A = this chain, B = another copy of it.
């Protein structure tokens, strides 16, 4: 009975890992569609969000069924409850990639991002990709060292976000209000993507160690 439980928990964790790969890919593709005004790629990301939502839905059903059948207690139960939380964060990260792609689609055939800001958006995308990659390692190996690092990686994202806002506020800004609104929301989507990754990493840390992340 214990083996069935842990086999199924492993399978659930593998699905979380797969979701983390999908949301990372979604944001990379969404950024590419945004910077290159690539409508086809934007549509691909928008359509793929339903797949991520469906995986989460299925995963939650599997988790609840496993709870009902195996009646775990103590750390097994906490582990299983935490997968519900992690899948919700991953689903939300997928939504944020979807928002980026919708912005790309809305401004097509133009790019929502003026050339001047493309380097910052590229940097935010790279920071998100690095965060997403480390998050996959955290999920795969329950790596608490890397889980702790993610908080600092997210500080880098927050700095980029501040640079972006500073660029919008500079006296040189000549792209008008609509672009400022787009960039404000885009900046928030990348920032929130990082926040959700940190939230997942903190949860893995807690599940493994039984303690909250020190800086919290």
In the bound complex, residues from chain B placing their C-beta under 8 Å from that of A173 are 177
Assess whether A148 is interfacial by the CB under 8 Å rule: no
Partner of A180, one of B64, B77, B88, B177: B177
Q: A178 to B167: give the CA distance in the assembly, Å.
A: 11
Evaluate whether A68 and B73 lie within 8 angstroms (CB atoms) in the complex, with A85-B88, A169-B178, A180-B181 already known.
yes
Q: A158-185 toward B: CB 8 Å interface, digit per residue (1/0)?
A: 0000000100110001000110110011
In the complex, the count of this chain's copies comes to 2
Give the total of A residues in contact with B, Cβ under 8 Å.
23
Whether A1 sits at the interface, judged by CB under 8 Å, is: no
Query: Looking across the interface, which residue of chain B has its beta carbon closest to that of A178?
Result: B169
CA distance A67 to B84 in the complex (A): 14
A88-B169 Cα distance, complex, nearest whole Å: 34
Contacts of A67 in B (CB 8 A): 67, 77, 81
Confirm or deny: A4 has a beta carbon within 8 angstroms of a beta carbon on chain B.
Answer: no
Q: Determine whether A71 belongs to the interface, using a CB cutoff of 8 Å to chain B.
A: yes
Tell me, in angstroms, the Cα distance from A148 to B67 when the chains sit together: 29
Interface of chain A residues 54 through 88 with chain B (CB within 8 A): 64, 67-68, 71, 73-74, 77-78, 81, 84-85, 88
Q: How far is the CA of A184 from the CA of B177 in the complex (A)?
A: 10
Query: Does A6 belong to the interface (CB within 8 Å)?
Result: no
Residues of A within 8 A of B (CB): 64, 67-68, 71, 73-74, 77-78, 81, 84-85, 88, 165, 168-169, 173, 177-178, 180-181, 184-185, 188
Q: Could you show 23 A-B contacts with beta carbons less than 8 Å apart?
A: A64-B77, A67-B67, A67-B77, A68-B73, A68-B74, A68-B77, A81-B84, A84-B84, A84-B85, A85-B88, A88-B88, A165-B181, A168-B181, A169-B177, A169-B178, A169-B181, A173-B177, A177-B177, A177-B180, A180-B180, A180-B184, A181-B184, A188-B188
